[in-house]
Structure 1
Amino acid sequence: MPSAWDERTQLTTFLDYARDTARAKCEDLSDEDARKAPLPASPLMTMSGLVNHLRWVEYYWFRVVFLGEEDEGPWTDEDPDREMRIAVDLPLAQVLDEYAAEAVRHRELVAGHDLGARAQRAAGDGRHVDLRWILLHLIEETARHNGHLDILRELIDGRTGV
């Protein structure tokens, strides 16, 4: 690691690391195991559901909030967690591939914009955050869910330390 990276390199490297960690936690996991919800009070908490959630969270923050695109995410007012629910109907490899493809698109998007550029749409609290804030939020969100993935993986098959 270089002794000094510019801010963009630091932020994108940390986000890539968190993404790679999420994918690593799914290594050698069967589709059946990826669909298991081992926490009785959390039926949507599955490995595939969390990875699909991460994919769609990035889509939402980068494309809907930052770029101002129309929201074409899988969620609805009636089913706000639908991205987690539908993941159990998909092969894990597809969920991981779609997450990786979104990451490529978002790396290109970040490379083409100033970190101080303001989002086209307001965040949930009404503020127009900048790209820097979005990157920091996605690092935090992905790292937090990596902890969930780690717990789920241990409960599913005992694997730890990925």
Structure 2
Amino acid sequence: MPPAWDERSQLTTFLDYARDTARAKSEGLSDEDARRAVLPGSPLMTPGGLVNHLRWVEYYWFQVVFLGEEDEGPWTDEDPDREMRIAADFPLAQLLDEYAGQAARYRELVAAHDLDTRAKTPTRDGRHVDLRWILLHLVEETARHNGHLDILRELIDGSTGV
């Protein structure tokens, strides 16, 4: 439950819950299992790849879109899913720690801005979304990938309900 019932508390509590769920669904996996692609049609969909993707998605929306910083993400035009591919180069614990550390910094960023503050960089369709929209989008994105983590975890080691 959120500590208060205002909009900011509700949005940030749901995002933190989704982040914590991604961590919980990844805990106890070996580095080898975190690199396993168990869906034949999705060779990049690994637990580690999804955690790294979530980390970089937040970077993109908060730092590149909202703050207007230069995009220094790992992706390229030739390899737009590179953040998922390079996850295999890092231990799962490192990916989870980087995600958690970054989330702590973004909590501070969100606390320092009004939800109506517009992003400095427009989205692909030219809109300058506000911080509220970014938070809602990140809740949706993280929750969707938690569903993928559910499936991967069950296929890897039979764990369910994590």
What displacement does 1:2 show? 6.5
Aligned positions of 1:105-120 closer than 5 A: 105-120=105-120
Work out the CA distance in 1 between the residues paired with 2:49 and 2:136.
22
Normalised to the residue count of structure 2, the TM-score between the two structures is: 0.98
> CA offsets, 1:124-149, max 9 Å, x none?
22110000000000000000000000
Pick closer, same or farther for the CA change 1:3–1:22 going to 2, 3 Å.
closer
Are 2:38 and 2:152, in contact at CA under 8 Å, matched by a contact in 1? Answer: yes
RMSD (CA atoms): 1.1
1:47 aligns with 2:47: yes
Aligned positions of 1:122-137 closer than 5 A: 122-137=122-137
Q: State the partner residue of 2:75.
A: 75
1:27 aligns with 2:22: no
> CA offsets, 1:38-85, max 9 Å, x none?
001100000000000000000000000000001010001111000000
The secondary structure found in structure 2 opposite 1:63 is helix
Are 2:48 and 2:84, in contact at CA under 8 Å, matched by a contact in 1? Answer: yes
Are 2:51 and 2:99, in contact at CA under 8 Å, matched by a contact in 1? Answer: yes
Work out the CA distance in 2 between the residues paired with 1:126 and 1:158.
44
Which residue identity lines up with residue 52 of structure 1 in the other structure? N
Which residue identity lines up with residue 158 of structure 1 in the other structure? G
Pick closer, same or farther for the CA change 1:3–1:28 going to 2, 3 Å.
closer
Are 2:154 and 2:160, in contact at CA under 8 Å, matched by a contact in 1? Answer: yes
Q: State the partner residue of 1:65.
A: 65
Which runs of 4 or more aligned residues in structure 1 lie more than 6 Å from their structure 2 counterparts after TM superposition? Answer: none
1:14 aligns with 2:14: yes
Work out the CA distance in 2 between the residues paired with 1:41 and 1:4.
43
The secondary structure found in structure 2 opposite 1:79 is coil
Pick closer, same or farther for the CA change 1:25–1:61 going to 2, 3 Å.
same
Pick closer, same or farther for the CA change 1:40–1:113 going to 2, 3 Å.
same
Are 2:47 and 2:149, in contact at CA under 8 Å, matched by a contact in 1? Answer: yes
What displacement does 1:89 show? 1.1
Q: State the partner residue of 2:139.
A: 139
What displacement does 1:4 show? 5.6
Q: Which runs of 5+ in 2 are unaligned?
A: none
Q: State the partner residue of 2:104.
A: 104
